[in-house]
Structure 1
Amino acid sequence: MSKLISADEAAALIPDHAVVTVSSSSGLGCPDAVLAAIGRRFEAEAHPRGLTTLHPIAAGDMWGIKGIDHIARPGLLARVLAGSYPSGPSSAEPPAIWRMIGADQVEAYNIPSGILFDMHREAAAKRPGVLTKVGLDTFVDPRRHGCAMNATAAAKPVVKVKDFEGEEWLYFPAITPQVAIIRATTADERGNLTYEHEGAFLGPLDQALAAHNNGGIVIAQVKRLAKAGTLKPQQVYVPGILVDHIVVAPEQMQTTQTVYEPAISGEIFRPLDSFETPAFDIGKVIARRVALELTAGSAVNIGFGISANVPRILIEEGRHGDVTWVIEQGAVGGVPLTDFQFGCASNAEAIVPSPYQFTYFQAGGFDASLLSFLEIDRFGSVNVSRLTARPHVTAGAGGFVDITARAKKIVFSGYFNAGAKLAIENGAVRIDKEGKVRKLVPEVEHVSFSGARGVAQGQDITYVTERCVMKLTPAGVMVTELAPGIDLERDVLAQAGFPLLVADDLKRTPDRLYCDTPIGLALDGRGA
């Protein structure tokens, strides 16, 4: 019997009140054709109703791949557990899912991506759930927000604090999906799936196992169909015994605003000189200062924001390959991409399945992480996941909590104040207009990283801004380095929302960072 069906036929298989798991990361790997068909069916029939959807990373974006927005309709969607959500500029209209969250029309939870993958594995093996220390003393902890994104979700907790063997843990009960919607490049007639054009393995095997082992169905959206027996067995990532239905969608994009780029899927390597290096500005100076924290031979995680440009700094300095980049979607090595292709890498040495990459992160198996911040508070805690005034500008935490839980060294980077007008003149920073929104606040709105746990665990925490470098110490946040052109009292201490400590041996950020020429990067990890 043929497994091939249309997207509309696939949508007709989704029962009311089903738990549906979707494998994607924004536009990367998104089974958009099937999600669109579910939305069309609801519009025509008012079914399926009351769905719960699981998105370990995210589904869709604001730049052409709608993902979850196809099904973000009152009546259709009742509950969402996601690592992150579509985000975009503050000037844009919020995605439909954010409007539903804000209006309390859906129970919405932001669960760390690695934990969501863990929950799938527990469901697949019919185990009760996940015990983890990831998320303690952050918004994940039920003593704070318990992952809830609105009042409707807060009334129905998804996580508990448990004592086990004399230690405090967070417990997430497993959630069993009835339907898994996954994506691949090729399916053969028997449902075996290969991933030739994909930039990541975003949990499809784990999700398929969770649905299949509990009597559910697995729908695979693919780009093309092959004759049975023609796929090489070592390239089959999801075997056909787990796949019930195949939907062919030849138009599926590789990732956001990218139809197909073979370097993303490791089929070719791009020349290093094909990667654009950042223009000389304040952001590049911050990225250069972050790069001074690196040590040759390290495995380094990288996140969105200013830090995403650090790999380009290394290329410009002739140091590409001196550190190995590792990103949550699974790429190891190569050059992590920026902007719309964030989450992908070109020229990767390996592409690890994302759930296993998170296992690596959760245990602190890597050397350092370069991440951004929205807010920093007096405890050294960081918020990247929520701003009530501009909710859809933030995507949620994604893998941030998994990554920072036990990271040995974290370098957070960003601008000291939001909205300041800045320039570089004669090798120094010039503040033409002070920003109106302070990012150093007495207490962050959402604790994405706990400074208290960072101190307790002995994590090496650095904050790099255009004005100064700060370190987290047991006594508080300390200014350790000042940029040329910046006045300590006027531009730093008076602009912080809490008292900052100042190092007795306050250093000056190296002058070479402020010139539009290579800086002679040494990668000795000694900062200034």
Structure 2
Amino acid sequence: MRINKVVSADEAIARIRPGDVIATTGFVQSCIPESLHAALERRFVETGAPRDLTLIMCAGAGDSKGLGTGRLHHEGLLKRVIAANFGRMPKVAAAAQEDKIQGYNLPQGVISKLYRSCASGSPGLFTKVGLHTYVDPRLGGGKVNSVTKEDLVRLVEVEGKEWLFYKATPINVALIRATSADPNGNLSMEKEALTLDVLAQAMAAHNNGGVVIAQVERLVADGSIKPKDVKVPGILVDCVVVAETPELHRMNYGVMYDPSLAGEVRVTVDNLPTMNLDERKIIARRASFELPPNGVINLGVGAPDGVANVANEEKVTPYLVMTTEAGAVGGVLAGGSSFGSSANAHSILDQNQMFDFYHGGGLDLTCLGMAECDSMGNVNTSKFGGRLNGCGGFIDISQNARAVVFAGTFTAGGLEIAIEDGKLRIVKEGRARKFVNQVEQVTFSGKYAAQKSQPVIYVTERCVFQLTDHGLELIEVAPGIDIERDILPHMAFKPHIHNPIPMNPAIFRDGPMDLLSDLLNQKLGERISYDAERNVLSVDLSAWSVRKKSDITDLQKAISSACEKAGKRVNTLINQDSCRIAEDLYDDYANMVAQLSKAYYARTARYATSALTRQKLQDALRRRGLQTRVYESAKEAAASLEEATAAE
């Protein structure tokens, strides 16, 4: 006998029992089942029930002012919260900070994938995500207060390597959202911006003998949803609730409906407004020089989201694939209330599948914000200034991307700058330091990243730092900025300073930067010259960056071409002063040198003023069997070539 699954929001919420574990969907301000949250709040305010619920959620799902999961702040309603983000439900966060409820702040991707663990009956999830951060049991295990006692995270060793095991929490109720439902409860999501984890959440609750409640915009006739368009099959759905008003089923809190975000239409995006040349654009411009052509990228909120605007302005967007942890692949990433979505997306993945891709190393680059940073390169974005914000997907993304750019202003709170004749001037310093002796909470471990040789830089409006195995090194300084006046007095520690170079002057001038030619190495040939009389090939790599493997390939092609034109083996003089090679690419660079040496070089001399660069280059070359010495100056290097030639 067919059961009518269509009920009111109040009737559906009445099925929630005291002590139940509830999973709800939503990402920032999008895809939130607002009718269901409102009905749960209404029931508790009117009746005092249900009490002592456990709330499990991934990203924040609210407007920070009381909507979404922010509605569940009433004392007694929640007993425990397991979430990646607390910032969008500040009253719930305050209850956790005041020890009124138990709380766990775990990585977003881990929670997302734990839904699948629950659905499949697995006890939990093994992953390296969270090692050496505050989620690691050695640093707190993700507990947010003293009343939270149970260990949900354990450190384990498998085949001699450290892993974290996250315990799965069985789910009793799933509050999900879709666009359409038929009488059997089959759900489709044609007008949603994201699919998130609705299928995994529904399966987790259903397989645990729980209740699945789906909020939809409309009911459709039986059989009108094509099988491949059914996102959640009716066998998993117990209750279908049609949103009481359109406002309770908005695409997000700022947009009623945008068909380009739902993938129903494609829109023209060539004429996006350009950013004003302020500190935010300076940071985004410098970060954009790290973009890997044909690479896959993730951008965080705040200063990093300006990178997408700069990429569009510089016409490099067609050479990149932007993604969001919420599941959007390609297109033009949306901001504001639509953050996490993408106009003209290539595809939309389930959130847990996107984190499979991220956790497995699929990201070529991520650009993320930073609230605090210390001398060892640790970054805090989760708990600072008396606020419990949460990590969101920050840990999942930053630990597993091949390269990381942290971006943010040098100081916070009232910073004012001026750009005059291509130079930066600090008009008013920010009230709060970001570069501190020790971060309040480790959301990113600099030491762990250095051990893995993960390339990491820290971009501000006035300077750039690089992570090394001995901590932060100052590598670039903006024109007009004095290190002793504008940098060191506003840091709680002194970074390593060897031979910093000026930041690219084009960053500080209005107008195009010719970013594309830099990213594609189209002018590499201009760095190479040949003196036929002396048979010396000069390669000027000063201030050039090896950011990705394709840079090495491009350099090898350019040098090979010059050597072919010379028509014989050449003596090579290579300037590597302030040349930055990504930590994980030294061996690839040495392999290129070995191939060129075998094919084209008679003898080679290279130089760099930085002792650290010399040492790293020499070590990498020796691992490849090359005993090349890296000299300290051009004079020494040139002299060594002349002596070797005269000795023959």
Task: Confirm or deny a common fold (TM above 0.5).
Answer: yes
1:406 and 2:400 correspond:
yes
CA contact (8 A) 2:278 2:417 kept: no
Q: Which residue of 1 aligns with 2:614?
A: none
* Superimposed CA distance per residue, residues 27-58 of structure 1 (whole angstroms, 9 cap, x where no aligned partner): 21111111110111111111111100110222
* Distance apart, 1:524 and its partner CA: 4.0
Q: Tell me the SS of whatever aligns to 1:115.
A: helix
Q: CA deviation at 1:295?
A: 2.1
Take 1:50 and 1:389, find their aligned partners in 2: how far apart are those partners?
26
CA RMSD of aligned residues (A): 1.5
Aligned amino acid, residue 80 of structure 1: V
1:90 alignment partner in structure 2: none
Taking the TM superposition and a 5 Å limit, the aligned residue runs for 1:139-218 are 139-153=134-148, 155-218=149-212
Give yes or no for contact 1:334–1:346 (8 Å, CA) kept in 2.
yes
Amino acid at match of 1:454: A
SS in 2 for 1:283: helix
Write out aligned runs for 1:473-484 (5 A): 473-484=468-479
- Structure 2 distance, partners of 1:74, 1:490, is 50
Identity of aligned residues (%): 40
Distance 2:312 2:277 in 1: 15
Matching of residues 315-464 of structure 1 within 5 Å:
315-391=312-388, 394=389, 396-419=390-413, 420-464=415-459
Shift of 1:156: 2.8
Displacement of 1:348 after TM fit?
Answer: 0.7
Determine helix, strand or coil for the equivalent of 2:318. Answer: coil
Amino acid at match of 1:182: I
**Structure 2: unaligned runs, 5 residues or longer:** 522-543, 546-579, 581-648
Distance 2:83 2:7 in 1: 28
What letter is aligned with 1:36?
Answer: A
Alignment partners' CA distance in 2, 1:517 and 1:67: 42
Give the paired residue count: 516
Aligned to 1:514: 508
Counterpart in 1 of 2:50?
Answer: 48
Separation (CA, whole Å) in 2 of partners of 1:234 and 1:104: 46
Amino acid at match of 1:74: E
Preserved CA contact (<8 Å) 2:212 2:237:
yes
The amino acid of 1:70's aligned partner reads R
Q: CA deviation at 1:79?
A: 0.5
Give SS of 1:42's match.
helix
One-letter amino acid matched to 1:186: S
**Does structure 2 retain, via aligned residues, the 8 Å contact 1:159–1:170?**
yes
- Stretches of structure 1 that go unaligned for 5 or more consecutive residues are 88-93
- State the one-letter code of the partner of 2:398: T
Partner of residue 31, structure 2: 29
Contact 1:25–1:58, Cα closer than 8 Å, also in 2: yes
- Normalising by the residue count of structure 2, what TM-score does the alignment of the two structures yield? 0.78
* Matching residue of 1:91: none
- Moved runs in structure 1, 4+ residues, more than 3 A? 524-528
AA at the equivalent of 1:329: A
Q: Distance in 1 between matches of 2:337 and 2:418?
A: 26
Deviation readout 1:330-385 (Å, 9 max, x if unpaired): 00111111222211111111111110000111121121101110111111011111
Provide, for residues 392-432 of structure 1, a one-character-per-residue CA deviation record: whole Å limited to 9, x for no partner.
xx3x1111111112211001100111122212122111111
Residue by residue over 1:184-226, the C-alpha shift from the partner in whole angstroms, topping out at 9 and shown as x without a partner, is 1111111111111111111011111111111111000011111
Deviation at 1:321, TM superposition (A): 1.6
Report the Cα distance in structure 2 between the residues aligned to 1:467 and 1:511, rounded to whole angstroms.
12
Q: In structure 2, how many angstroms separate the alpha carbons of the residues matched to 1:453 and 1:161?
A: 16
**Could you tell me how far apart the structure 1 residues matched to 2:303 and 2:167 are?**
36
Q: Deviations over 1:104-156 (max 9, x none)?
A: 11111111111112211111111111111100010111111211122222x33
**Equivalent residue number for residue 74 of structure 1:** 75
Contact 2:378 2:446 in 1 (8 A): yes
Higher helix fraction: Structure 1 or Structure 2?
2
Q: Secondary structure at the match of 1:263?
A: helix
User: Which structure has the bigger radius of gyration?
Assistant: 2
The answer to whether residue 13 in structure 2 is matched with residue 11 in structure 1 is yes
- Tell me, yes or no, if the aligned pair for 2:195 and 2:350 is still in contact at 8 Å: yes
- The alpha carbon displacement at 1:274 in A equals 4.7
Q: Does the 8 Å contact 1:292/1:524 carry over to 2?
A: no
- For residues 249-328 of structure 1, the aligned pairs below 5 Å read 249=243, 250-251=245-246, 252-328=249-325
Matched ranges for 1:82-101 at <5 A: 82-87=83-88, 95-101=90-96
Question: 2:162 aligns to what SS in structure 1?
Answer: strand
Kept after mapping to 1: 8 A contact 2:363/2:400 = no
1:235 aligns with 2:229: yes
Given that 1:282 and 1:424 are in contact with CA atoms closer than 8 Å, whether structure 2 keeps it comes out as: no
TM-score in terms of structure 1 length: 0.95
Letter in 2 for 1:254: M
Greater RCO structure (CA 8 Å; 6+ sep): 1
- Deviation per CA, 1:242-272, whole angstroms, max 9, x where unpaired? 1111000151110131111111111112211
Return the letter of the residue paired with 2:90.
P
> Paired residue for 1:122, among 117, 123, 131?
117
Note the C-alpha offset of 1:464. 0.5
Q: Please list the CA deviations of residues 145-187 of structure 1 after superposition, one character each: whole Å capped at 9, or x if unmatched.
A: 211122222x333211122333221111111101111001111
Task: Give the Cα separation in 2 of the matches to 1:344 and 1:427.
Answer: 36
CA contact (8 A) 1:123 1:174 kept: yes
